[in-house]
Amino acid sequence: MSMTDTRLCEMTIHELRDLLKAKQVSAVEIARSFIDRIEAVESRIKAFVTVTPELALEQAAIVDESIERGDDIGPLAGIPVAIKDNMCTRGTLTTCSSKILYNFKPIYDATVVDKLVRAGAVTIGKTNLDEFAMGSSTENSGFFVTHNPWNLDTVPGGSSGGSAAAVAADECAFALGSDTGGSIRQPASFCGVVGMKPTYGRVSRYGLVAFASSLDQIGPLTKDVTDCAIVMNAICGKDPLDSTSLDVPVPDFMKALVSDVRNLKIGVPKEFFGHGTDPEVESAVRAAIDLLVSLGAEAKEISMPSVDYGLPVYYIIAPAECSSNLARYDGVRYGHRTGTSTSPIFAKGGVSSNLPLTKGGVGGVVSLYQKTREEGFGPEVKQRIMIGTYALSAGYYDAYYLKAQKVRTLLRRDFEKAFEEFDVLITPTSPTVAFAIGERVDDPFAMKLADICTIPANLAGIPGISIPCGFKDGLPIGLQIMAKGLNEETLIRVAYTYEQHSGHHKEKPGI
């Protein structure tokens, strides 16, 4: 593809890399194209909490100098990336889209950010999310709602809605998101891009602000499957700073970009097609399965009965872990503190940041904690903290948290049994396409159903990918493919084969 065919900001990672290596464009020119694009559409999309054009141009200039010296640059050198704003970036605001962290600038980079910077990627900004990654629509952001580029009146999904919207709107070449219950795959589905949740432990979580530590995983959002493989090569691997990261070899995921599914066995779990699945979504997903069968794969419907318990199990385990992880936000060391003049919350009176904690108008240290957290956390975060604290409390731990962990084990066994027979499982990513902004705000059950197809993979710790497979009323439909742990190569091969024979990834929103 030549520059006369498309603008630089519309290109994929691999297209931009080829232009850079051929010296047809400079990294600075690429960065400026994306900066211009952000200036043109960001007021309507609102994907970014923080944009860093100066940093991007500085990093791009370093890449250009390297190219001029004749250095062999990697596949991500000079490529603009957006980082979900719950990953630490040294010297750049990391807010988790929460008022309680409105002013937090980390003194270190998350491991994934460090890897991308070392690979020469150009950091263009930090993206909006549901506060502390708790939500399915990005409407729970403490700052503003992100809009879906395909229809500005609809949500982009969540919690990585800003990352997915930024990729779909060509505001970055790729983005990083985090996935606790579907927070990469579901917004990828809603925004018509590719989103992968790797196996739990495949990517370091060091520097990711924790929501639910046994579920969280970082992964890429990209414009096609080839780009997904490129980013996976860069971010995977054992990290001594994260004890949960897996000490296993990292394959070259680019070698999995093979258009061949002959003799591949596909399981189609019937439980994923209930729970209010839109008939047009189901039709598109089944058509995608038929296409893969026509290319030589075999498909069979199966039952995974424990999957039906995924949603209630998740909404005990995730809030329990969240209530523990968010206990650190107390106004003492960083972030918002009640009564300080620099806070955007403008709490009146009370304690100054340089006064003893047990004195002042807030009435002591306990009151300081209470008022800080009351002012800093949004309603969804408060609700999950309270649910989690209740589930872990004396007299209820066995009835709720322990029982949920036992059912989680049953769900894992269902997946293990399925993967004894099948190479992959294919389902809808979400039961519906993107819904209207405000449509589900007052219906929390309907909101949570948006993640019903994605949550089981997090509970089982297995990898999953969402790729575009069609449209309904002009809004993208997502196809979810899951494989057994550490089998991302099979996911990439199946997704790439479908992509090469469908072309849905080439569709662009009209913004």
Q: Is 84 one of the catalytic residues?
A: yes
Architecture of the 8-251 domain: Alpha-Beta Complex (3.90)
Contacts of 21 (CB under 8 A, 6+ apart): 73
Q: Is 406 one of the catalytic residues?
A: no
Phi and psi at 316, nearest 5°, equal: -105, -50
Choose the catalytic residue: 26, 33, 46, 84. Answer: 84
Q: Where exactly are the structural domains of the chain? A: 8-251, 310-400
Only one residue has tokens 């009564």, namely 339
* Contact (CB, 8 A) for 189 and 429: yes
pLDDT at position 116, please? 98
Rounded Cα distance between 77 and 316, Å, is: 42
Q: Is 159 one of the catalytic residues?
A: yes
DSSP-H helix ranges across 69-175: 111-118, 161-168
Q: What is the reported pTM?
A: 0.95
* Gap between the terminal Cα atoms of the chain: 22
Choose the catalytic residue: 183, 204, 323, 466. Answer: 183
Choose the catalytic residue: 97, 137, 159, 323. Answer: 159
pLDDT at position 385, please? 97
Rounded Cα distance between 470 and 479, Å, is: 9
pLDDT at position 2, please? 42
Which parts of the chain sit beneath pLDDT 50?
Answer: 1-2, 4-5, 341, 345-360
**Helices 27-45 and 53-68 sit at what angle, rounded to 10 degrees?**
160
pLDDT at position 364, please? 85
Residue 45, both tokens: 């999309």
Residue 60, both tokens: 């791009």
pLDDT at position 341, please? 47
